[in-house]
């Protein structure tokens, strides 16, 4: 079962300027680099598969 399922609505990628950008976090469990997008507050570590939460507040 795939964890990350991305949906595409068929819109051209350049039609709207996306404001989403990944923030790089360090996994507190294994120290791997985890990217958390700015419209999400948690992500799964690609290495240990544990949940990494964003630390910074918006």
Q: What CA–CA distance (Å, rounded) separates 40 from 9?
A: 19
Q: Which is nearer to Zn ion, 23 or 32 (CB)?
A: 32
The two beta strands, 51-53 and 22-26, are: unpaired
Q: How far is the CB of 31 from Zn ion (least distance, A)?
A: 7
Q: Which is nearer to Zn ion, 29 or 54 (CB)?
A: 29
Q: Give residues in contact with Zn ion (CB under 5 A).
A: 27, 29-30, 32, 45, 47-48
Q: Which is nearer to Zn ion, 18 or 49 (CB)?
A: 49
Q: What CA–CA distance (Å, rounded) separates 8 from 12?
A: 10
């Amino acid at each position: 079962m795939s964890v990350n399922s991305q949906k595409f609505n068929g819109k051209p990628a350049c039609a709207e300027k996306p404001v989403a950008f990944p923030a790089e976090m360090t996994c507190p469990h294994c120290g791997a680099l985890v990217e958390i997008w700015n419209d999400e507050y948690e992500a799964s570590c690609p290495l240990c598969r544990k949940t990494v939460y964003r630390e910074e507040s918006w």
